[in-house]
Amino acid sequence: MQTISKEEIESEKIIFFHKIKEGALFIHPTDTIYGIGCDASNSDAVYRVREAKKRYTSPFSVIAPSISWINENCEVNKKAQEWLHKLPGPYTLILKLKNKDAIAANVNMDMETLGVRIPDHWFSKIVAELEVPIVTTSANVTQSEFMTSEENLDPKISSKIDFIIYEGEKHGKPSRLIDLTKKDIEVIER
């Protein structure tokens, strides 16, 4: 597993973008915690994330490349539009998916809804430049503690990862889930 910095991914974008589009699994920072990522349109890469996390049925969320991507691919009603104005931020908005071709089928499993994020973090600009949604799920084996630093990265995860974009210890917690698919908005703290 290769460890790279913000400066390295910014200066060598062509190389790392190629790796991601070819199916690389990587750990990335956000405004909350570290996540495992891959190109959300690459079903083989998504499967590898599921294998690494031992999470076979629960849906994954994505970091969207832009608000316009969310509007193009998800159903955005008036209440959802209000939440979109809070992005970037520490929220994962659960929306109905209208373009099932926008992601690999094994990202959300039911193909009805999708959790979308735009973290308030420089990594969101990388995703915007990449122009593809990126799977984002906590960097841990399911039911284990999530990663806050390289020192507590589970070896079972690190052995499956191609590279990590590391920026030091994180002190956050997972984003809040905002379910906008029902009549009443449901806010889920994790």
- Do 86 and 67 contact (CB within 8 A), yes or no? no
Over residues 23-36, the mean pLDDT reads 93
Q: Given this model, what pLDDT does residue 115 score?
A: 94
- pLDDT for the residue 189: 67
Q: Which domains does the chain have, with CATH numbers?
A: 2-188 (3.90.870.10)
Q: What is the pLDDT of residue 174?
A: 78
pLDDT in tens, 68-84: 999 999 999 888 999 99
Read off the pLDDT band of 63 (50, 70, 90).
very high
Question: What is the token pair recorded at 27?
Answer: 């750990």
Helices of type H across 27-181? 43-53, 67-73, 78-84, 105-108, 123-130, 155-158
> Is residue 188 predicted with pLDDT exceeding 80?
no
Could you report the per-residue pLDDT of 96-139, keeping only the tens digit for each? 999 999 999 999 987 799 999 999 999 999 999 999 999 999 88
Examine residue 29 and say whether the peptide bond preceding it is cis (omega within 30 degrees of 0).
no
**Given the DSSP bridges, would you call strands 26-28 and 163-165 parallel, antiparallel or unpaired?**
parallel
**Residue 190 banded pLDDT, cuts 50, 70, 90:** low
What average pLDDT does range 56-66 have in this prediction? 93
Mean pLDDT of the chain: 91
- pLDDT for 24: 96
pLDDT for 186 beyond 90: no
Please compute the mean of the pLDDT values over residues 3-26 and round it to a whole number: 94
pLDDT for residue 26 is more than 90: yes
Tokens at 46, concatenated: 């998504």
Mean pLDDT of the 50-55 span: 91
* pLDDT above 80: residue 142: no
| Percent residues over pLDDT 70 in the chain | 98
- DSSP reduced 3-state for 107: helix
Q: What is the pLDDT of residue 170?
A: 87
